[in-house]
Amino acid sequence: MPDVSPIQLVIVLVIALVILGPKRLPDVGKSLGRGIREFKDSVSGHETPAPPVARLDVTPLDDSPVTPEEHRTQRADSTVVKAT
């Protein structure tokens, strides 16, 4: 493995700061660290547990049973609202 002196490390960090800017540099560092961690975990065979998945409540508000045909009709008639 090549030897990296402190001066070389400072030069690389200054170049990265100039290219990426102070706002994007922390995000790039986090992404790079996360990628290296995932690579190490995949090589060593360790798997991190998946985060819990949010469950959606699909019960109708009036608690009346809905047939699949009614559900399809309601979905086709509903308006899609985009979250901002």
Q: How far apart are CA 13 and CA 78, in angstroms?
A: 52
- Tell me: pLDDT of 53 over 70: yes
DSSP string, 22-76: HHHHHHHHHHHHHHHHHHHHHHHT--PPPPPPPPPP---TT-----HHHHHHHHH
Quote the percentage of the chain above a pLDDT of 90: 18
The answer to whether the CB of 20 falls within 8 A of the CB of 28 is yes
Quote the percentage of the chain above a pLDDT of 70: 63
Dump pLDDT digits (tens) for 62-77.
666 767 777 666 655 5
Query: H or E element: which one contains 77?
Result: helix 68-77
Confidence of residue 55 (pLDDT cuts 50, 70, 90): confident
Q: Is 78 exposed, middle or buried (0-12, 13-18, 19+ CB in 10 A)?
A: exposed
Confidence of residue 79 (pLDDT cuts 50, 70, 90): low
